[in-house]
Amino acid sequence: MKVEKLENSQIKFVFDVTADEFEKALDKAFEVENKKVTIPGFRAGKAPRSVFEKNYGVEALYNEALGQIYDDKIQELVKAEEAKSVISQPQLKLEDTKSIERGKDFKIALVADVYPEVTLPNYKGLEVAKKNLEVTDDDVMKSVQALAEKDSSIVSKVEQVIAKGDYAVFDFDGSVDGVPFDGGKAENYELEIGSGQFIPGFEDQMIGMKSDESKDIKVTFPENYHAENLAGKEAVFKVLVHEVKVKNLPEFTDEYVKSLNVKDVNTLDELKASKRKELEEAKVVAEKDRQTNEVINKLLDSCDVKLPQTLIDERVNAYKSQYEEQAKMYKIPFETFIQLMGATMEQFNDVATKQATRQALFEVVAGKIIEVEKLNPTKEQIEAKAEEEAKKTNANKDDLLKANAPRYLNDLAYDALVNLLLSNAKEI
């Protein structure tokens, strides 16, 4: 057996096939193929070899014979040291493009994808934006007010002038080139100004309008608007405002704060302190996630790895299967489901390939760093992870280890990798 490394993370194993080997393979092929045909004067599978070859030619046995040879060579291949890096089913290829001739030696090749070689860039000292952990008083008040949303009410505004965040009740009548269009007219429509529900520019032009005021609002439909007959066209909406409303939140008295049933909170100041702590803790998590994504993307952007198609295809199939399962759940065809998501199959496949390629690249690069830095967790760390989960879920530690050991290993290795990258990153 001869071994050759090919481009794009492939390897080729070349085998000699003797005339005697091929003849034995033809014998086995005849036993298989003869059962598939019926020759006049003979029961199925009972025709002599000479009769079979007279009717179909010996060449009719070649494909099956090559399959027999393939099976034999695979058995040789799995014993080879070089085969340990193979990650795909080897494909059989003939070394000589000329026809195989009975009674002559020839060569075959088994070509397979292998785990790619990775030359790591400098992964220490990657630049990331500094953490922003500031929580403002305004952030705190918005969080506090969000708690009271369930008890809010929409009431008429004292000063009947529209401002961002107000609710306007109005009539509108739209037209394109003076011609009304479907869905372009309504009466007493209530809209939160600034919510972005209407065509870009519409809500901004309503700011400052008063009750009983009318106005022509000119906007342009987006080029990708769902109604093709309106996409990209300029429209005029005749608007008449009837009323301006505001959201009224309950007064934050101590009695009301207590009614919110927040643990250990009885006053507005305590509620603000509690919400500030929550926001600060969430900010720490969010900023670590942001820096993690940033440093990983910079790492991958600096890598040049020839990914084998097998790694990409596996992840594309996994990505697609998620959406196929959702389509089955809704009992609609897969292509229809993708269209309802607002994409064509071509766009979906493009996104799937890009995400799969990025994921595969991360896995091979991360795996190499984990190997180089010796970041794989110890047995004790994996057991500690199971113990931690067992306490949270009241499950048996040994059962968790048996079911989840690979996940614990991957999670701990990933955490160690992220900590290595972030602890060596340069904040700018």
- Give yes or no for a contact between 268 and 143, defined as CB atoms under 8 angstroms apart: no
Q: Are residues 422 and 323 in the same domain?
A: yes
Q: What do you get for the CA distance between the two ends of the chain, in Å?
A: 55
Q: Are residues 281 and 370 in the same domain?
A: yes
pLDDT in tens, 17-57: 999 999 999 999 999 999 999 899 898 889 999 999 999 99
- Give yes or no for a contact between 65 and 25, defined as CB atoms under 8 angstroms apart: yes
Please give the DSSP secondary-structure letter assigned to residue 161. Answer: B
Tell me what the mean pLDDT of segment 238-252 comes to.
95
Report the alpha-carbon distance of residue 330 to residue 323 in Å, rounded.
11
Give the C-alpha distances (Å, rounded to integers) separating 427 from 126, 283, 286, 347: 8, 17, 16, 36
Residue 226 binned pLDDT confidence (cut-offs 50, 70, 90): confident
Count CA atoms within 13 Å of residue 37 on its CB side: 19
Q: Are residues 56 and 187 in the same domain?
A: no
Task: Output 227 or 355, whichever has higher pLDDT.
Answer: 355
Residue 257 maps to a domain: no
Q: Are residues 288 and 397 in the same domain?
A: yes
- Residue that finishes a domain, picked among 216, 248, 280: 248
Q: Are residues 275 and 422 in the same domain?
A: yes
Give the C-alpha distances (Å, rounded to integers) separating 181 from 178, 227, 236: 10, 11, 11
Exposed/middle/buried for 9, CB within 10 Å: 0-12, 13-18, 19+?
buried
pLDDT in tens, 260-316: 999 999 999 999 999 999 999 999 999 999 999 999 999 999 999 999 999 999 999
Q: Are residues 19 and 96 in the same domain?
A: yes
Residue 128 maps to a domain: no
pLDDT of residue 97: 56
Q: Are residues 79 and 162 in the same domain?
A: no
Tell me what the mean pLDDT of segment 172-196 comes to.
95
Q: Are residues 321 and 394 in the same domain?
A: yes
Please give the DSSP secondary-structure letter assigned to residue 210. Answer: B
- Residue that finishes a domain, picked among 91, 113, 135: 113
Beta strands 167-176 and 10-17 are unpaired
The CA-based dihedral angle spanning residues 79, 82, 86, 92, taken in that order and rounded to the nearest 10 degrees: -70
CATH number, residue 49? 3.30.70.1050
Give the count of beta carbons closer than 10 Å to the beta carbon of residue 406.
Answer: 9
Report the alpha-carbon distance of residue 296 to residue 294 in Å, rounded.
6
The H-assigned helical ranges of 228-308 are 254-259, 268-301
Backbone angles phi, psi at 215, to 5 degrees: -160, 145
In one-letter notation, the amino acid at residue 165 is G
pLDDT of residue 286: 97
Residue ranges making up the domain that contains 413:
268-427
CATH number, residue 204? 3.10.50.40
pLDDT in tens, 165-176: 999 999 999 999
Residue 102 maps to a domain: yes
Q: Are residues 422 and 309 in the same domain?
A: yes
Residue 254 maps to a domain: no
Report the alpha-carbon distance of residue 321 to residue 287 in Å, rounded.
32
Report the alpha-carbon distance of residue 7 to residue 309 in Å, rounded.
12
- Does 96 score more than 80 pLDDT? no
Report the alpha-carbon distance of residue 47 to residue 55 in Å, rounded.
10
Residue 297 maps to a domain: yes
Q: What is the mean pLDDT of the chain?
A: 94
Among the ranges given (97-106, 173-182, 395-404), the one the predictor scored with the smallest mean pLDDT: 97-106
pLDDT in tens, 122-167: 999 999 999 999 999 999 999 999 999 989 999 999 999 999 999 9
Instruction: Give the number of residues written for the chain.
Output: 428
Structural tokens at position 37: 């045909």
Q: Are residues 331 and 244 in the same domain?
A: no
Report the alpha-carbon distance of residue 200 to residue 207 in Å, rounded.
13
Residue 36 maps to a domain: yes
Residue 31 maps to a domain: yes
- Does 98 score more than 70 pLDDT? no
Q: Are residues 244 and 215 in the same domain?
A: yes
Task: Output 216 or 84, whichever has higher pLDDT.
Answer: 216
Residue 146 maps to a domain: no
Give the C-alpha distances (Å, rounded to integers) separating 373 from 123, 291, 376, 377: 11, 21, 9, 11
- The total domain count for the chain is 3
The beta strands (E) that lie in 129-233 are given as 153-156, 167-176, 179-192, 214-220
CATH number, residue 364? 1.10.3120.10
Q: Are residues 240 and 158 in the same domain?
A: yes
Among the ranges given (87-96, 183-192, 390-399), the one the predictor scored with the smallest mean pLDDT: 87-96
Count CA atoms within 13 Å of residue 321 on its CB side: 7
